Amino acid sequence: MTAAVYYEHIKTCKQSGARLGRVHTPHGVIETPTFMPVGTQATVKTMSPEELKAMNAQIILSNTYHLFLRPGHDIVREAGGLHKFMNWDRPILTDSGGFQVFSLSEMRKITEEGVHFRSHLNGDKLYLSPEVAMEIQNSLGSDIMMAFDECPPYPAEYDYVKKSLERTTRWAERCLNSHARPHDQGLFAIVQGGMYEDLRKQSARDLTSMDFPGYAIGGLSVGESKQLMYEVLDYTVPLLPDNKPRYLMGVGSPDALIEGSIRGVDMFDCVLPTRIARNGTTMTSQGRLVVRNAQYARDFGPLDPACDCYTCRNYSRAYLRHLIKADETFGLRLTTYHNLHFLINLMKQVRQSIMEDRLLDFRDEFFEQYGLHDN
């Protein structure tokens, strides 16, 4: 019986070492490298499933922590699972809640068993552990589940990071042992280890010895410089098996997506495109454009002349600026649609460049146009 989630290598870019691949899941095949729109509370904010399909979103991310707190994973299970609940029939990846507990909730206590914390919504005393995180993700019925981990703060002392990654490894084993549906849900382990090379190697070695269907790199994009993040990737990605998907968590600026792909990463997620859209900041082929700025009041051209998305084909910068200034929901929808389309289209160009063995050339062209000369 083949595993529910497996990686198919298509080719390696002769110029950059990046790879073209497919991740097979129970709800469909994902062409990689790919960017995953974030739908934390069972919706990619302001987007309908039809719009996400129109822009060719292949897979979306949702969060165990948030759905555990609200509406409760039992309701989602009774609805027939997350795909049915949110009317999305393509792949879903759920994050495990570990990271969100540490970044969202107060009054938390970490023990070997798990984490006691208070809901950031109503202060209720709650508990998450590897076993509970697996039970929740089983109820959600996501195609790819993440192991329950601790993402240490940055910066963090060597000893703290070492103890934390060793517990994260023990938690990963408990997730593997309590996985009820390994044949229809793929469980990815999460490599931690902060910015310490020997700890990243220890985490990768211990987790890859347990043979998970896929591996994520956590604990990056936590405030470190991009150069330091790329350095950590340079020595961490090669430690991961080349026949399994590699997922860099929380990373999504255009340059980081290209640099991560060059280093062999297959999957990315980030709230950036949806979050900045809601305050009128957009990603265009000429770089970031804050469409709410006064200079666009009488600019009747498209947001991005080089873009063929619904927003750029039908509306002007002046109209978008007006909607955002007037706090009109439609404005948020239009900027969100464009930003997601921009990143999804960027990854399509990355895959095309890998196919043509010219990803480094593409990076230089993109950086030049996008105004990223300093990288």
Ligand X SMILES: CC(C)(C)OC(=O)NCc1c[nH]c2nc(N)[nH]c(=O)c12
Measured CA to CA in angstroms, residue 59 lies from 49, 94, 193 at distances of 11, 11, 27
Query: Does 95 participate in catalysis according to the annotation?
Result: yes
- Tell me the C-alpha distance between 269 and 232, whole Å: 18
Q: How far is CA 308 from the centre of its chain?
A: 24
Paired residues of 222 in beta bridges = none
Q: Answer yes or no: 124 catalytic.
A: no
Does residue 221 touch ligand X according to CB under 6 A? yes
**SS3 category, 285:** coil
Instruction: Answer yes or no: are the C-beta atoms of 273 and 284 closer than 8 Å.
Output: no
Question: CB-wise, 49 or 273, nearer to ligand X?
Answer: 273
Taking CB under 6 A as the rule, does residue 222 contact ligand X? yes
| Count of positions on this chain that bind ligand X (CB under 6 A) | 15
Among 114, 194, 213, 250, binds ligand X (CB under 6 A): 250
CA atoms within 13 A on the CB side of 373: 1
Of residues 49, 98, 186, 280, which one binds ligand X by CB under 6 A?
A: 98
- String of contacts with ligand X for each residue 174-213, x by CB under 6 A: ----------------x-----------------------
Task: Return the amino acid letter for 172.
Answer: A
Stretch that binds ligand X, among 16-24, 31-39, 215-223, 303-311 (CB under 6 A): 215-223
- Kindly write out the interface string for residues 68-87 of this chain, putting x where it contacts ligand X by CB under 6 A and - elsewhere: --------------------
Q: Based on CB atoms, which residue is closest to ligand X, 51 or 231?
A: 231
DSSP state of 327: T
State the CB neighbour count (10 A cutoff) for residue 29.
14
Site string for ligand X, 21-60 (x = CB under 6 A): ----------------------------------------
Instruction: Select from 179, 154, 137, 37 the least CA-distant residue to 102.
Output: 154
Q: Which is nearer to ligand X, 60 or 291 (CB)?
A: 60
DSSP 8-state class, residue 283? E
What would you report as the CA-atom Rg of the chain, rounded to the nearest whole angstrom? 20
CB 320 within 8 A of CB 335: yes
Q: According to CB under 6 A, which one of 16, 32, 46, 96 is a site residue for ligand X?
A: 96
Question: What are the CA-CA distances from residue 311 to residues 44, 160, 304, 308, 316 (Å)?
Answer: 17, 47, 9, 8, 8
Catalytic residue among 95, 149, 206, 266: 95
Say how far apart CA 283 and CA 49 lie, in whole Å. Answer: 22
CB of 46 to ligand X, least distance (A): 20
Instruction: Tell me whether residue 248 or residue 303 sits nearer to ligand X (CB atom).
Output: 248
Catalytically annotated residue among 149, 206, 269, 304: 269
* Residues 141-160 within binding reach of ligand X (CB under 6 A): 146, 149, 151
Positions annotated as catalytic residues are 95, 269
Which residues lie near ligand X (CB under 6 A)? Answer: 95-96, 98-99, 146, 149, 151, 190, 218-222, 249-250
